[in-house]
Structure 1
């Protein structure tokens, strides 16, 4: 049994329970990591104090949105966070960094206020879902997050560690209103599945480290929205908390990416794997899948629902893919055994954590809902699409089909307007992307020196 962490505020303005405490901890820890980093890294910049102050405003507003109970107060905190984001982008990256984010984020604010001012019902729930999709950089709004890369690293860490999670957080806090009908859940599942496919495709194609992190965020937040569309709020909550902590740390450490890449190129050729590649990959994937299944049977009470089974299958697919790559490259018996133990421990821990969180948070987010069949179909379609893309890239690496897929992925998030080349002709972003992919494929055989420009945002 888990303790009841719910506490009723005397004036009814605050909501303090297991959910809000977990989310407030997320906001506080990300702030403690980002703000000192911003203060140090932006020292000497004429806008450094302004950017740091804007980020502090974002974190204060995000914490207030989590703890405030009234929808009007949550909407006000949401808008204050938007103001802080736009100030930070404008001061840190110039007008270009804030132009497209301003259009999308202000639209999201308008949708939130409209949903709050309307009477509770399907229309208000639809508006709330639409606002959350934009804030979470869902397709087609993911372009605002790519433009925000022009701002300094601390701004990106704050965006990916907390701001983009705000949409899913708001839906979780307003779960009873959202779960009143199936249609809003289906809309969340549609855009969540689309973001998984688009983010995964773009992640495979982007050459820059921060660009990869952005499209990884698009895919990860898509998975969170898909969990919400399936009615699995605990899975969505666990995922967004883990993503917020992980992604903020990755952005703060992104400057070391060039050094790691240079070290990898200087390293000697890897030893021959102990097992044939297919055997090692199959062993790793099987070990991860069995660990997830065991953890589910032990700790996850929702595993026997259809929606829970779909999410567990997707988690098993992701962990199995990573385990296949890790175990398949083991070169010694000790390395093979160590990696198998690590794979089993991590995959089992994910399932146990999901089950434990579900049990702990159940009193705070009742009622549960039956996932719509359309959401289940969308989840299965997204999983199949990602698997098919991976299979095509593995089997047809370097082919014209592979290049076309990469070109389309690189064009994601490009400005809708055409770009003028040096000759004055008009070229679409997709054509430019295809040209860059072709040039990159031709240049792969020629080693090039590693410079810090490889991490250009």
Structure 2
């Protein structure tokens, strides 16, 4: 086994899997008919998944024990290849007969190649190029139906925000190279680089890049408007592309951990995005738009975990969210059909009991108090707080359930806590052993305050609060996207002719 792994060479997966995707994309473009392209894409996605499964084996039998960066990259690579395999197989019958099949195949394969390279590479400059290529591949997918005004608008806003993220990332890479003399992620993580003004600026720019790529407020509008794209594109976007920002921050944990300015920027932007997006999600009736708001909220929450130094929990969040969102979008057609059978009247869940809300709030407030008194270690304080936030949606729906549903909810809560505790014990010390990783009491108090506000706000919305103007404002995300649309070059393309609207019969998406 060691001889076989040695023949492959170190980091063989960083070029072989992305190269396989890119080669397949090139061949599918050259073929005229889409059917051979689909067969090749299915075979290539399966081969990429099998190659990714070899990566843990190569790390296990390697000469040195795997480092935190390798574990995070391996987890991301397995996730990307698995999602690619599922989405390619789902898309073949879904897009049958559509004229955009070849464009979809090339776009999805380029996007997967970029995401796989972001996960696998050990070089910061290559990571930046791969991250940009992922966005360009996604750009191709967002315009599969260019005759749709909504699709063009979403693609244009994504393009503008993506180029802004490219600029901030390139400047961050240049600053890191100038200050450290290296772009190797492994070397940078293990060197214990002293912080300088240049590295602090690079950390802030990297945080801004992740915020833009993860569609945090106020540059979130394109994620909501991307529903004009086919369902497989939405699944790939929400499950495998938008959360790459979290993976990049995990790879750059050595830098973020030592930059309080970057941490507070992530805490402020991520926390506020979580509150606004989670409140807006409850007020939605459209299933896919509700899922899009949910993605914004989850991305904000994941970046908050990164800011608190809970890198292992951020990785768990990334994996769990990706798998859930892929399933949710790919099964959205069935959910729509069930909603229609129910009379097109999606009801909000019942309001939670006030006693339960008070208990959760008091438990959350206890965390910063114990941390401030030095009775609760920083890592355990963050774990306790994040566990409360994760359990709140389960527990607040307990009172509304009847019969055997309440015991099942309790069992689910126990399972969630147990799995989270096991993950914390196994990977907490491995993925978060870096200097400066301890959160401050002020940071924990800020997250606690936001959690309390969100809990009370969601409880009010679920109880049927009748302040119509406030509900409408929350449902529209405080009208932040409308404000962004007024900026030059963002609301509509500066150049190019506007095409006529799409006929109603062409706007209907497939549901199977």
Normalised to the residue count of structure 1, the TM-score between the two structures is 0.76
RMSD (Å) for aligned C-alpha atoms: 3.6
Partner of 2:330: 252
> 2:94–2:510: 8 Å Cα contact kept in structure 1?
no
Measure the CA separation in 2 of the matches of 1:346 and 1:102: 41
Within-5 A mapping of 1:107-186: 107-119=164-176, 120=179, 121-186=199-264
| SS state at 2:86 partner | helix
> 1:145–1:214: 8 Å Cα contact kept in structure 2?
yes
Q: 2:154 aligns with which of 84, 97, 116?
A: 97
Measure the CA separation in 2 of the matches of 1:179 and 1:59: 29
> 1:101–1:148: 8 Å Cα contact kept in structure 2?
no
> 2:72–2:247: 8 Å Cα contact kept in structure 1?
no
> 1:161–1:247: 8 Å Cα contact kept in structure 2?
yes
Partner of 2:416: 350
Q: 1:316 to 1:285 in 2, by over 3 A?
A: farther
Measure the CA separation in 2 of the matches of 1:125 and 1:384: 29
Deviation of the 1:413 alpha carbon? 2.9
Q: 1:117 to 1:9 in 2, by over 3 A?
A: farther
Partner of 1:325: 397
Q: 1:410 to 1:265 in 2, by over 3 A?
A: farther
> 2:142–2:233: 8 Å Cα contact kept in structure 1?
yes
- Which piece of structure 1 moves more, 160-169 or 18-27? 18-27
Q: 1:284 to 1:95 in 2, by over 3 A?
A: closer
Deviation of the 1:414 alpha carbon? 3.4
Measure the CA separation in 2 of the matches of 1:109 and 1:195: 22
> 2:154–2:221: 8 Å Cα contact kept in structure 1?
no
Q: 1:307 to 1:391 in 2, by over 3 A?
A: farther
Within-5 A mapping of 1:244-283: 244-265=322-343
Matched, 1:189 2:256: no
Q: 1:341 to 1:22 in 2, by over 3 A?
A: farther
> 1:160–1:248: 8 Å Cα contact kept in structure 2?
yes
| SS state at 1:102 partner | helix
Matched, 1:85 2:138: yes
Measure the CA separation in 2 of the matches of 1:371 and 1:144: 33
Cα deviation, 1:360-410, whole Å, max 9, x if unaligned, reads 333355316111344223212211221221233245523446545445547
Deviation of the 1:82 alpha carbon? 1.2
- Which piece of structure 1 moves more, 384-393 or 189-198? 384-393
Deviation of the 1:313 alpha carbon? 3.3
Deviation of the 1:252 alpha carbon? 0.9
> 1:182–1:372: 8 Å Cα contact kept in structure 2?
no
Matched, 1:35 2:88: yes
Measure the CA separation in 1 of the matches of 2:475 and 2:80: 37
> 1:258–1:454: 8 Å Cα contact kept in structure 2?
no
Deviation of the 1:18 alpha carbon? 2.4
Partner of 2:460: 392
> 1:137–1:145: 8 Å Cα contact kept in structure 2?
yes
Measure the CA separation in 1 of the matches of 2:352 and 2:273: 30
Q: 1:69 aligns with which of 115, 119, 122?
A: 122
Matched, 1:363 2:430: yes
- Alignment gaps of 5+ in structure 2: 1-55, 180-198, 367-374, 487-506
Within-5 A mapping of 1:303-318: 304-306=376-378, 308-318=380-390
Partner of 1:26: 79
Within-5 A mapping of 1:286-305: 304-305=376-377
Q: 1:6 to 1:357 in 2, by over 3 A?
A: farther
Partner of 1:372: 440
Q: 1:352 to 1:373 in 2, by over 3 A?
A: same
| SS state at 1:358 partner | helix
Normalised to the residue count of structure 2, the TM-score between the two structures is 0.68
> 2:311–2:431: 8 Å Cα contact kept in structure 1?
no
> 2:284–2:290: 8 Å Cα contact kept in structure 1?
yes
- Which piece of structure 1 moves more, 351-360 or 19-28? 351-360
> 2:215–2:223: 8 Å Cα contact kept in structure 1?
yes
- Which piece of structure 1 moves more, 19-28 or 318-327? 318-327
Partner of 2:296: 218
> 1:38–1:154: 8 Å Cα contact kept in structure 2?
yes
Measure the CA separation in 1 of the matches of 2:164 and 2:301: 23
| SS state at 1:118 partner | helix
- Which piece of structure 1 moves more, 400-409 or 160-169? 400-409
